[in-house]
């Protein structure tokens, strides 16, 4: 009997010991312990700083940095990083990097993660919530000053000028009292406005002429068309001085107006600051690039259908612009200057057919591809929707909405 009792006691003790040894530990305490050993480093790249500087400042492994650069080489090179771009670094309890995130731009983030063999890298798109915004107002002095010189308003102004670049010379044709109305995507993240997206439709009234644009996808590519479905693109831009290139470094104290003086039988003179970029108004071949008498530094381009354009008094001719080379519409071919017979810095621009000068504003130019008849019904439905959106708001209300929505910015 005593033997049986002893055996039973032994079995109970054995079962207890086995249960104590093999019972899984509760998960929650493990998670808490694990989190205590992780830390997260966040910041933004300083001016002149490299990732080497960042890793040294936080006393992180330079071997990890080397392997991170190696992993990202085929996705995005990290040898040069841009000031003000945010980054996040996560490290474990031994200060080894486990994750690295770097904002390449507003639309993509480089994500690098440690794995068993090293690091893997991928570029991920930034997910935004899209909202339909209305922006508009009246021109006072120039487009940028009318919209406001904060970064987001500047980029919206440049996008608008690109859309109407074949119809309006935004450097010199605007008049006080001109009006604009825009329907544009507002991109939001975490409930906050981050930046403007694509313009969906726009109306610009310049000196009494109404110009309309509607974004529409044709053959998988989005472009802008007028109310009848004709492409806004033409063989020649309205002007050889790009509003985008002139305005990209704009601040209220540094904006230089462009004055345009028409000279009968001689072309057009654009008075602008020395160094202002000069662009080819259309696809062409360079037939002359050098110094020529009263023109000073001159570039002559030959376009299709016998057209030639002249760009004179340049302070310099762009590197690589030489006789026989093809240039694309909008490509910078030189910079405004005062070489040759010039009383001050300006661009002398001419258009000719053969040796006969012609007025660029009176030349009938072919357009890009129009919306085909099979898609006209769908296109006109979109036009109607956009027109109702634009017509529902007064200019005052639109301007107020634009100020409210565009006030916030950043990442």
Q: How many CB atoms lie within 10 A of CB 278?
A: 28
Lowest mean pLDDT among 13-27, 54-68, 176-190: 13-27
| Domain 36-125 = CATH 3.40.50.150 | no
Nearest-Å Rg of the Cα atoms of the chain is 31
pLDDT band at 2 (very low <50, low <70, confident <90, very high): low
Q: SS3 for 233?
A: coil
Domain boundaries, the chain: 36-125, 129-233+368-411, 250-366
Give the tens place of pLDDT for each residue, 297-323.
Answer: 999 999 998 999 999 999 999 999 999
Quick check: 373 pLDDT over 90? yes
Q: How many CB atoms lie within 10 A of CB 199?
A: 20
CATH fold of 250-366:
Glucose Permease (Domain IIA) (2.70.70)
HSE, CB side, 13 Å, CA atoms: give it for residue 258.
30
Topology agreement, domain 36-125 and domain 129-233+368-411: yes
pLDDT band at 409 (very low <50, low <70, confident <90, very high): very low
- The token pair that represents 172 in the structure block: 């010199």
Quick check: 225 pLDDT over 80? yes
Give the tens place of pLDDT for each residue, 237-287.
Answer: 999 998 887 765 444 444 455 666 666 557 888 988 899 999 999 999 999
**How is domain 129-233+368-411 classified at the architecture level of CATH?**
Roll (3.10)
């Amino acid at each position: 009997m005593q033997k049986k009792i002893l055996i039973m006691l032994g079995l109970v003790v054995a079962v207890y010991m086995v249960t104590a040894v093999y019972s899984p530990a509760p998960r929650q305490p493990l998670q808490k312990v694990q989190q205590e050993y992780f830390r997260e480093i966040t910041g933004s790249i300083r001016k002149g700083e490299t990732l080497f500087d960042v890793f040294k400042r936080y006393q992180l492994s330079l071997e990890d940095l080397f392997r991170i650069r190696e992993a990202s080489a085929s996705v995005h090179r990290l040898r040069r990083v841009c000031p003000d771009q945010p980054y996040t670094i996560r490290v474990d309890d031994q200060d080894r990097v486990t994750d690295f995130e770097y904002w390449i731009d507003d639309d993509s983030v480089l994500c690098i993660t440690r794995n068993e063999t090293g690091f893997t890298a991928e570029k991920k798109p930034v997910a935004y919530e899209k909202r339909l915004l209305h922006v508009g107002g009246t021109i006072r002095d120039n487009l940028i000053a009318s919209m406001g010189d904060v970064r987001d308003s500047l980029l919206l102004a440049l996008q608008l000028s690109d859309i109407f670049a074949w119809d309006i010379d935004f450097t010199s044709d605007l008049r006080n009292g001109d009006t604009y109305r825009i329907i544009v995507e507002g991109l939001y993240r975490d409930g906050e406005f981050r930046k403007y997206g694509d313009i969906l439709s726009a109306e610009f009234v310049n000196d009494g002429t109404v110009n309309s644009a509607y974004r529409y996808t044709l053959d998988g590519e989005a472009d802008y068309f007028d109310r009848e479905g004709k492409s806004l693109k033409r063989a020649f831009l309205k002007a050889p001085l790009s509003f985008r290139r002139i305005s990209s470094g704009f601040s209220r104290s540094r904006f230089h107006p462009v004055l345009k003086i028409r000279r009968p039988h001689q072309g057009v003179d654009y008075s602008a600051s020395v160094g202002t970029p000069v662009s080819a108004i259309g696809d062409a071949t360079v037939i002359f690039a050098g110094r020529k008498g009263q023109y000073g530094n001159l570039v002559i381009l030959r376009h299709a259908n016998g057209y030639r354009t002249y760009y004179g008094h340049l302070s310099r001719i762009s590197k690589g612009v030489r006789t026989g080379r093809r240039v694309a519409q909008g490509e910078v071919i030189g910079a405004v200057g005062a070489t040759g017979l010039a009383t001050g810095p300006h661009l002398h621009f001419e258009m000719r057919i053969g040796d006969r000068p012609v007025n660029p504003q009176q030349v009938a130019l072919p357009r890009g591809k129009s919306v085909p008849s099979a898609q006209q019904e769908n296109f006109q439905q979109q036009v109607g929707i956009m027109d109702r959106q634009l017509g529902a708001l007064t200019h005052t209300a639109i301007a107020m909405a634009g100020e409210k929505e565009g006030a916030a910015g950043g990442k």
